[in-house]
């Protein structure tokens, strides 16, 4: 059958399965006798193989088949799970990924590597019959979990839209045929008239009577890839018949059990028989009634289970559709703000009621939509287990990665962009932080270094921490290196905290030699930029000899934030509300007292401020009383001088166009209720640029 | 390729299906089958040159077949049913899906 196949459905699923496979293998390394884990690994590979074959990824299917064959021996207990097996299976997992990447335009997969992996795996397998035996076993379907041949009734009802995912149900039927003697009956009673028929929907379902020595699990495995797209019922028919007291089923029982007639119809048909039996004194009327009730209860229970399964079903939606939904909700929030403004101005009670109701609904819709985009960070954490494992081997260090808060949810966009910075930080911790085992032993530390990765919600932010028990950062050394590299003037005074932040400077590295892992001084700079582009901040705590903790503070979402709307002249700006601490007034007297410096005295504390009007060379006269919004920027209090503080504003963030690519003091824009555009300020960048400018001016003076 | 021609009397039509009968061609197959259903009293079906067939085509042929039978149209087949068609019909369990006499021998795979 030549159905147009959407291979992206397979590749996306396969990438997920490979990720699961990796997690399971790493867990299996810790618990090599865990049968459930071995089965999980096997099932992941079996699904990749089956779906690969179904979608025409023959190379994936063929290669995975070889790996699966060896792993099947582990499943059956004939091959122990060893580090060598895990290493090779992890390498196989990477090879499958390479093949998939190649199919998406990546570099071609290394066939020699594939051969090496297969040879390695075969060498591990017990040599009974050698490769030929492996081949024979591989050709067979998964191991039987039932004794003797049994007849199963498999009811397979694909969802009507199954074709759109590229699935060809006939290939699944053929896979069942490989398991034994198979009779397939197509049920077409829901087939509409030709006029009403949508050619791209599946109206057919099947009843398959399969005589096989394999068990129910093996049958279900065939449908793993489509389990969300079908209703599947597998019933062992012969075992029931084998029961000593079981009599062959009556036609009525079979029809009822199969759902071909309902109990009401059967009841009507049986009543005369029941009556006759009752009249003949063979059975009591109660017993007939009880038998019918038993049938009904069992059937209702079945229906409820099916319904529950349907309710729990997960719908997979392309993220682009979700992005579009978020954009539309963003537009709605803007329009709703406009409606509020208009209703307030018109002072019409009826209109205000409607506006309030729409405000409530919009709020709920916004929260719901944002919650759909939230993903647990656990999947990102799991990737690092492999990273730590591989780097341990590469660097000859012993390490253990522990995680906490894997179920902490973050916006999908944030999670997507968080992977690379975290990789850099963890690599850095392993390379620079954790000492070699002999060093750790000499200083009385446990041989195995610890890296703890955690995530926790903190208000509207998420704190992600990477904590190691390595040698810690040496503030003096960092200062010296910075001066040597000309990144810091020799007479600069830095606190330890500020010195720690030097590691995020461009071109800064204290590594004595450059390794594959780190030392080029680009990684941590990239980390800082990436985190800032996510409107996040970085904090470093370190104690020499004890370890380092790097904390990333990230916003929960990038699409809508709470902002503080401020006005300068006739323009508006938004400051992220999470950073704002307070607002104070700046009177002419305060200005006079500061003797030309841009500082404000807040209850005895001197706080520097940046006047937005001056920063952006805006026209217009300053008001007599200015407003200073004090925000926490990288751990310091900095003020921002504005004309007016309008108030809290639900900010739907829009990206700025290409013409703003060099204006990175703005991290986006938003549209106000009346259509005016307000720019969202990137406070950290703004402060940094002002400081750089002042340093330059001072130096030049 | 789908070709439908009607003879001079207007009562007998020949539907020649060839090449792949797959989801890519599903819409045009449906349009033709609908047209066929309305036009003639006697329909001759030719599947000789069908190179592949999928479930979408099977479902449509099945639905069309039911309607033709219901409307009392005379159905005959010319040429052979290619192995590929027989195989897909058999593998998909469509064999004998209609209890009425299968006059075109499509579902039973029998020759006319």
- Higher pLDDT: A558 or A248? It is A558
Mean pLDDT comparison of A205-209, A311-315, A511-515, B33-37, highest-scoring range? A205-209
- pLDDT value, residue A189: 79
Q: Starting at the earlier edge strand, list the strands of the sheet with A230-236.
A: A181-187, A205-212, A150-158, A230-236
- Does residue B1 carry a pLDDT above 80? no
Beta-carbon separation of A194 and B22 below 8 A: no
- Nearest chain A residue to B56 by CA: give it: A199
Q: pLDDT confidence of A263, banded at 50, 70, 90?
A: low
Q: Tell me, which fold does domain A319-375 have in CATH? A: Helix Hairpins (1.10.287)
CA distance B99 to chain A (A): 12
CA distance A188 to chain B (A): 8
Mean pLDDT of A494-521: 66
Instruction: State the number of CA atoms in the 13 A half-sphere of A488 facing the CB.
Output: 22
Residue from B64, B83, B82 nearest B73 by CA: B64
CA distance A308 to chain B (A): 30
- pLDDT value, residue B109: 40
Give the pLDDT confidence of A428-468 residue by residue, as tens digits: 888 888 998 889 999 999 988 999 999 988 766 788 999 99
Strands A537-543 and A461-468: unpaired
Average pLDDT, chain A: 79
- At how many degrees (to 10) do helices A83-103 and A111-124 cross? 150
- pLDDT value, residue A264: 66
Helix (H, G, I), strand (E, B) or coil at A374: strand
Q: pLDDT confidence of A573, banded at 50, 70, 90?
A: very high
- A vs B: CB pairs below 8 A: 87
Q: pLDDT confidence of A294, banded at 50, 70, 90?
A: low
Lowest mean pLDDT among A126-135, A406-415, A660-669, A674-683: A126-135
Lowest mean pLDDT among A53-57, A106-110, A197-201: A53-57
Q: Which residues in A lie closer than 8 A to residue B50 (C-beta atoms)?
A: none
Lowest mean pLDDT among A97-101, A298-302, A319-323, A455-459: A298-302
CA distance A235 to chain B (A): 19
Query: Which residue ranges make up each domain of chain A?
Result: 7-139, 150-311, 319-375, 377-555, 560-700
Q: pLDDT confidence of A383, banded at 50, 70, 90?
A: confident
Catalytic member of A22, A29, A46, A649 = A46
Beta-carbon separation of A170 and B92 below 8 A: yes
Beta-carbon separation of B30 and A193 below 8 A: no
- At how many degrees (to 10) do helices A35-54 and A7-30 cross? 160
**Which residue among B20, B30, B94 places its CB closest to the CB of A194?**
B30
- pLDDT value, residue A259: 65
Task: Tell me the Ramachandran region of residue A166: left when phi exceeds 0, alpha when psi lies from -120 to 50, beta otherwise.
Answer: left
Q: Which residues in B lie closer than 8 A to residue A169 (C-beta atoms)?
A: 55
Catalytic member of A424, A428, A435, A532 = A428
- Please list, in sequence order, all residues whose beta carbon lies within 8 angstroms of the beta carbon of residue A554, skipping any fewer than 6 positions away: A410, A414, A418, A461, A462, A463, A464, A531, A534, A535, A536
- A655 is an active site residue: no
- pLDDT value, residue B80: 80
Mean pLDDT of A384-402: 86
- Higher pLDDT: A287 or A76? It is A76
| Pair A429, A449: CB distance under 8 Å | no
Between CA A526 and CA A655 the distance in angstroms is: 21
- pLDDT value, residue A323: 82
What is the per-residue DSSP string for A270-329? HHHHHHHHHHTTSS-HHHHHHHHHHHHHHHHHHHHHHHHHHHT------HHHHHHHHHHH
Burial code of A647-680, b = ≥16 C-beta within 10 A, e = fewer? eebbbbbbebeeeeeeeebbbbbbbbbeeeebbb
Residue with tokens 């058999």: B90
Mean pLDDT of A475-486: 85
- A216 is an active site residue: no
What is chain A's alpha carbon radius of gyration, rounded to the nearest angstrom? Answer: 34
- pLDDT value, residue A12: 80
- Does residue A517 carry a pLDDT above 80? no
Q: pLDDT confidence of A322, banded at 50, 70, 90?
A: confident
Mean pLDDT of A44-73: 81
Mean pLDDT of A363-377: 86
Mean pLDDT of A482-501: 82
- pLDDT value, residue A282: 64
- pLDDT value, residue A343: 87
- Does residue A482 carry a pLDDT above 90? no
Kindly tell me the burial class for residue A70, based on how many C-beta atoms sit within 10 Å of its own C-beta (0-12, 13-18, 19 or more): buried
- Residues from B contacting A (CB-CB < 8 Å) are 20, 22-24, 26-27, 29-30, 33-34, 37, 52-56, 58-60, 62-64, 66-67, 88, 91-94, 97
**Which residue among A168, A173, A194 places its CB closest to the CB of B67?**
A194
CA distance B24 to chain A (A): 7
Query: Which among A197, A198, A206 is the top mutation candidate for probing chain B, defined by the most B β-carbons within 10 Å of its own β-carbon?
Result: A197
Lowest mean pLDDT among A210-214, A262-266, A541-545, B106-110: B106-110
Q: pLDDT confidence of A131, banded at 50, 70, 90?
A: very low
End-to-end CA distance of chain A: 79
- Does residue A661 carry a pLDDT above 80? no
Q: Which residues in A lie closer than 8 A to residue B59 (C-beta atoms)?
A: 188, 191, 197, 199, 202-204
Beta-carbon separation of B59 and A185 below 8 A: no
What chain B holds in terms of domains, given with CATH numbers, is 2-91 (3.30.750.24)
Look up residue A605 and give its two tokens: 């504390």
Give the pLDDT confidence of B52-102 residue by residue, as tens digits: 888 998 898 888 888 887 888 877 778 788 888 888 888 888 875 543 444
- Does residue A117 carry a pLDDT above 70? yes
- Please list, in sequence order, all residues whose beta carbon lies within 8 angstroms of the beta carbon of residue A580, skipping any fewer than 6 positions away: A564, A629, A630, A631
Residue A184 CB coordination number (10 Å)? 22
Mean pLDDT of A354-380: 87
Q: pLDDT confidence of A258, banded at 50, 70, 90?
A: low
Between CA A407 and CA A401 the distance in angstroms is: 17
Answer yes or no: CATH 1.20.140.10 is held by domain A7-139.
no
Look up residue A470 and give its two tokens: 């390595």
**Which residue among B37, B58, B91 places its CB closest to the CB of A173?**
B91
- Higher pLDDT: A324 or A132? It is A324
Mean pLDDT of A522-535: 78
- Does residue A512 carry a pLDDT above 70? no
Beta strands, E only, A339-458: 374-376, 399-404, 409-411, 449-458
- pLDDT value, residue A60: 86
Kindly tell me the burial class for residue A320, based on how many C-beta atoms sit within 10 Å of its own C-beta (0-12, 13-18, 19 or more): exposed
Q: Which residues in B lie closer than 8 A to residue A195 (C-beta atoms)?
A: 34
Per DSSP, A4 falls in state P
CA distance A52 to chain B (A): 20
| Pair A538, A551: CB distance under 8 Å | yes
Beta-carbon separation of B23 and A163 below 8 A: yes
**Which residue among A4, A168, A191 places its CB closest to the CB of B59?**
A191
Mean pLDDT of A7-21: 81
Instruction: Supply angle C-alpha B88, B93, B96, rounded to 5.
Output: 105
Give the pLDDT confidence of A610-640 residue by residue, as tens digits: 999 999 999 888 899 999 999 988 778 999 9
| Alpha carbon separation from A243 to A246, A424, A500, B100 (Å, rounded) | 5, 63, 75, 39
CA distance A44 to chain B (A): 27
Between CA A624 and CA A647 the distance in angstroms is: 20
Beta-carbon separation of B66 and A173 below 8 A: no
Query: Which ranges in A146-282 belong to alpha helices (H)?
Result: 169-177, 216-222, 238-242, 251-257, 263-279
| Alpha carbon separation from A422 to A78, A131, A427, A466, A527 (Å, rounded) | 40, 43, 8, 8, 8
| Pair A542, A398: CB distance under 8 Å | no
Look up residue B15 and give its two tokens: 């539907």
Q: Tell me, which fold does domain A150-311 have in CATH? A: Alpha-Beta Plaits (3.30.70)
Residue from A478, A403, A391, A466 nearest A431 by CA: A391
Between CA A62 and CA A48 the distance in angstroms is: 10
| Pair A675, A338: CB distance under 8 Å | yes
Which H or E run includes B44?
strand B42-53
- Does residue B2 carry a pLDDT above 80? no
Between CA A545 and CA A471 the distance in angstroms is: 4
Q: pLDDT confidence of A469, banded at 50, 70, 90?
A: very high
- pLDDT value, residue A701: 41
- pLDDT value, residue A523: 66
**Which residue among B33, B54, B94 places its CB closest to the CB of A3?**
B54
- Please list, in sequence order, all residues whose beta carbon lies within 8 angstroms of the beta carbon of residue A50, skipping any fewer than 6 positions away: A61, A175, A221, A222, A224, A225
- pLDDT value, residue A613: 93
Give the pLDDT confidence of A178-203 residue by residue, as tens digits: 887 778 888 887 889 888 999 889 99
Beta-carbon separation of B55 and A2 below 8 A: no
- Does residue A134 carry a pLDDT above 50? no
Mean pLDDT of A84-108: 88
- pLDDT value, residue A49: 81
CATH superfamily of A560-700: SH3 Domains (2.30.30.40)
Per DSSP, A433 falls in state I
Helix (H, G, I), strand (E, B) or coil at B43: strand
| Pair A449, A456: CB distance under 8 Å | no
- pLDDT value, residue A480: 87
Between CA A6 and CA A318 the distance in angstroms is: 13
Catalytic member of A22, A29, A66, A68 = A68
Q: Tell me, which fold does domain A377-555 have in CATH? A: Heat Shock Protein 90 (3.30.565)
Beta-carbon separation of A191 and B56 below 8 A: no
What is the per-residue DSSP string for A647-697? EEEEEE-B---GGGTT-TTEEEEEE-TTS-EEEEE-HHHHHHHHHHHHHHH
- A428 is an active site residue: yes
Mean pLDDT of A228-234: 87
- Does residue A600 carry a pLDDT above 60? yes
| Pair B38, B73: CB distance under 8 Å | no
Q: pLDDT confidence of A32, banded at 50, 70, 90?
A: confident
pTM: 0.50
């Amino acid at each position: 059958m030549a159905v147009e196949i959407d291979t992206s459905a397979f590749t996306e699923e396969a990438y997920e399965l490979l990720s699961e496979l990796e997690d399971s293998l790493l867990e299996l390394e810790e618990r090599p006798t865990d049968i459930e884990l071995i089965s999980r690994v096997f099932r992941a590979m079996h699904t990749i193989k089956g779906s690969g074959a179904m979608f025409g990824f023959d190379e994936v299917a063929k290669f995975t088949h070889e790996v699966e064959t060896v792993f099947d021996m582990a499943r059956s207990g004939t091959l122990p799970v060893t580090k060598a097996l895990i290493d090779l299976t992890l390498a196989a997992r990477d090879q499958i990924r390479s093949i998939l990447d190649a199919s998406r335009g990546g570099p071609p997969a290394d066939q020699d590597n594939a051969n090496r992996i297969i040879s390695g795996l075969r060498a591990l397998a017990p040599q009974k019959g050698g490769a030929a035996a492996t081949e024979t076993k591989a050709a067979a379907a998964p191991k039987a979990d039932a004794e003797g041949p049994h007849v199963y009734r498999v009811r397979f009802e694909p969802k009507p839209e199954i074709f759109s995912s590229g699935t060809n149900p006939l290939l699944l039927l053929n896979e069942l045929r490989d398991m034994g003697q198979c009779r397939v009956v197509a049920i077409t009673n829901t087939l509409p008239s030709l006029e009403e028929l949508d050619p791209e929907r599946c109206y057919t379902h099947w009843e398959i009577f399969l005589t096989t020595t394999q068990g129910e699990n093996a049958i279900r495995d065939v449908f793993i890839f489509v389990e969300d797209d079908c209703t599947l019922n597998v019933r062992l028919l012969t075992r029931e018949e084998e029961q000593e007291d079981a009599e062959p089923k009556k036609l009525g029982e079979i029809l009822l059990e199969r759902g071909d007639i309902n109990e009401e119809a059967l009841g009507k048909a049986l009543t005369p028989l029941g009556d006759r039996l009752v009249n003949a004194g063979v059975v009591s009327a109660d017993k007939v009634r009880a038998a019918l009730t038993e049938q009904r209860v069992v059937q209702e229970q079945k229906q409820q289970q099916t319904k529950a399964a349907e309710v729990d079903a997960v719908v997979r939606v392309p993220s682009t559709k979700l992005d579009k939904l978020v954009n539309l909700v963003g537009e709605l929030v803007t329009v709703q703000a406009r409606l509020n403004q208009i209703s307030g101005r018109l002072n019409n009670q009826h209109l205000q009621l409607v506006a309030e109701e729409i405000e409530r609904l919009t709020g709920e819709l916004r929260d719901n939509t944002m919650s759909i985009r939230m993903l647990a960070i656990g999947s990102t954490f799991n990737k690092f287990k492999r990273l730590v494992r591989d780097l341990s081997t590469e660097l000859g260090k012993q390490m253990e990665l522990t995680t906490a808060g894997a179920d902490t949810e973050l916006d999908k966009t944030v999670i997507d962009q968080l992977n690379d910075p975290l990789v850099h930080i963890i690599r850095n911790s392993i390379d620079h932080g954790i000492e070699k085992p002999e060093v750790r032993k000499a200083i009385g530390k446990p041989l195995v270094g610890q890296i703890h990765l955690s995530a926790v919600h903190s208000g509207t932010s998420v704190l992600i921490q990477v904590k190691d028990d390595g040698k810690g950062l040496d503030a003096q050394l960092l200062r010296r290196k910075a001066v040597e590299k000309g990144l810091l003037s020799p007479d600069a005074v830095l606190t330890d905290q500020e010195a720690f932040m030097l590691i995020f400077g461009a071109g800064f590295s204290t590594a004595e030699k450059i390794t594959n892992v780190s030392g080029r001084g680009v990684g941590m700079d990239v980390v800082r930029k990436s985190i800032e582009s996510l409107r996040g901040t970085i904090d470093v705590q370190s104690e020499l000899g004890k370890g380092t903790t790097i904390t990333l503070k990230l916003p929960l979402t990038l699409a809508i934030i709470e902002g503080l709307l401020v006005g300068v002249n006739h323009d508006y700006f938004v400051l992220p509300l999470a950073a704002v601490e307070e607002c104070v007034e700046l009177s002419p007297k305060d200005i006079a007292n500061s003797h030309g410096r841009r500082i404000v005295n807040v209850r005895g504390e001197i706080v520097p401020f940046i006047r937005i009007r001056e920063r952006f060379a805006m026209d217009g006269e300053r008001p007599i009383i200015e407003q200073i919004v004090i925000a926490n920027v990288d751990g310091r209090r900095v003020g921002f001088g504005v004309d007016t503080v309008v108030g809290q504003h639900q900010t739907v963030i829009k990206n700025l166009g290409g013409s703003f690519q060099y204006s990175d003091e703005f991290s986006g824009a938003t549209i106000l209720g009346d259509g005016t555009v307000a720019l969202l300020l990137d406070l950290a960048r703004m402060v940094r640029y002002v400081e750089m400018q002042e340093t330059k001016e001072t130096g030049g003076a | 390729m789908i070709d439908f021609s009607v003879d001079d009397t207007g009562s007998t039509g020949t539907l020649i299906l060839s090449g792949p009968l797959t989801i890519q061609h599903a819409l045009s197959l449906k349009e033709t089958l609908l047209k066929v259903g309305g036009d003639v009293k006697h329909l001759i079906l030719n599947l000789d040159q069908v190179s592949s067939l999928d479930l979408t085509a099977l479902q449509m042929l099945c639905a069309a077949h039911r309607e033709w039978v219901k409307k009392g149209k005379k159905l005959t087949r010319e040429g052979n049913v290619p192995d590929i068609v027989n195989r897909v019909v058999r593998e998909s369990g469509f064999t004998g899906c209609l209890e009425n006499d299968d006059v075109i021998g499509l579902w039973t795979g029998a020759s006319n």
